[in-house]
Amino acid sequence: MTMQTTLTDSVEEAAALLNAGGVVAFPTETVYGLGAAICHPAALLQLFRAKGRPADNPLIVHIYRIEQVAEVASAVSVQAATLIEHFFPGPLTLVLKKNRSVPYSVTAGLETVGVRCPANPIAREFLRLACCPVAAPSANRSGLPSATSWEAVMEDLDGKIDCLLRGTPSAIGLESTIVDCSGGRAVLLRAGAITLEQLRAVVPEITTIAVTEREERPKCPGLKYPHYAPRAAILLSAAVEKIDIKESSAAYIGISEQPKGVALFKVCSSLEEYGRELFGFFRLCDARNISVIYCELPSDEGLGRAIRDRLMRAAGLA
């Protein structure tokens, strides 16, 4: 089924379409989100369909001010309150016990809900004008790299959603850090721009999820699905100077100087730039029919942990 997708710069127009039960993509500082109001069941269904998202993968609920946490969560632990105080609004999602206003279609049947308050001013204005909190996965077709520009959203979802609120390219370019605060001890479920070091500076006991545990009982259901994958093969390298290019259509992204013989490359001056450019570069490589993308694998420190995580998933190694 195709529909007319309204492309707009007007937050009011986008919010009106959302409030009328539409599915509306909007910019945030992490990646673009694909929103549906949690009080519109039909819109939530349409959202899953447009994205090609499995129904057992829960959505993050977005709010525009901290006080709204109480509208969707039934309990906020001391650790959660500390994280909210330090990192909301921003690129952090907290998993909390849900309350009755959040439908199970949003949480995929779970008793918990992911809650995020984005910092991007357009996102906050859009969420302020929304009739209720907004469930939003990343605005890409399931399995493809997240959309970090409005053009990427159009590429994946034109004709499948009601509206795209146009904004600037995502400032961070990687999805939010997710911390599960619904149980006893806080657990990092997905690395992001709020780093493990930053989290531990305020909540020292935060743990990371062991790979074996992740396989047996995925605490973050989405992590079991293939992610962020361009059509091109992804090859990871910690030692760029040793890469030997044989293909005529190879590409490279990383921080070190590019290997000789690549058809397309992006040399970033910082981890921040690497994170911001990664998904857009994957999409560019597909558009240019690149067959293999060599990616420099950063170390696990700071933002390196999040970039590593996305690279490993894109390469099918996690």
Q: Which residues bind Mg ion (CB under 5 A)?
A: 138
Structure tokens at 113: 């809900």
Instruction: State which of residues 110, 154, 186, 194 lies at the interface with ligand TXA (CB under 6 A).
Output: 110
Instruction: State which of residues 30, 68, 77, 105 lies at the interface with ligand TXA (CB under 6 A).
Output: 30
Contact call for residue 31 and ligand TXA (CB under 6 A): yes
Instruction: State which of residues 17, 44, 59, 132 lies at the interface with ligand TXA (CB under 6 A).
Output: 59
- Closer to Mg ion by CB, 138 or 195: give it: 138
Give 278's contacts (C-beta < 8 A, 6+ positions apart): 145, 173, 174, 253, 307, 310, 311
- Closer to ligand TXA by CB, 192 or 298: give it: 192
Distance CA 34, CA 137 (A): 6
Distance CA 214, CA 155 (A): 32
Cβ 227 to ligand TXA, closest distance in Å? Answer: 8
SS3 113: strand
Judge if the upstream peptide bond of residue 89 is cis by omega within 30 degrees of 0. Answer: yes
Instruction: State which of residues 22, 137, 167, 298 lies at the interface with ligand TXA (CB under 6 A).
Output: 137
Give the H/E segment covering residue 69: helix 69-72
Residue 149 contacts which entry, ligand TXA, Mg ion, none (Cβ below 5-8 A, type-dependent): none
Instruction: State which of residues 17, 47, 122, 136 lies at the interface with ligand TXA (CB under 6 A).
Output: 136
Distance CA 279, CA 53 (A): 19
Instruction: State which of residues 84, 130, 199, 223 lies at the interface with ligand TXA (CB under 6 A).
Output: 223
- Closer to Mg ion by CB, 86 or 313: give it: 313
Distance CA 138, CA 156 (A): 11
Radius of gyration of the chain (CA): 19
Binding site for ligand TXA (CB under 6 A): 28, 30-31, 33, 57-60, 93, 95, 107, 110, 112-114, 116, 136-138, 175-176, 178, 189, 219-223
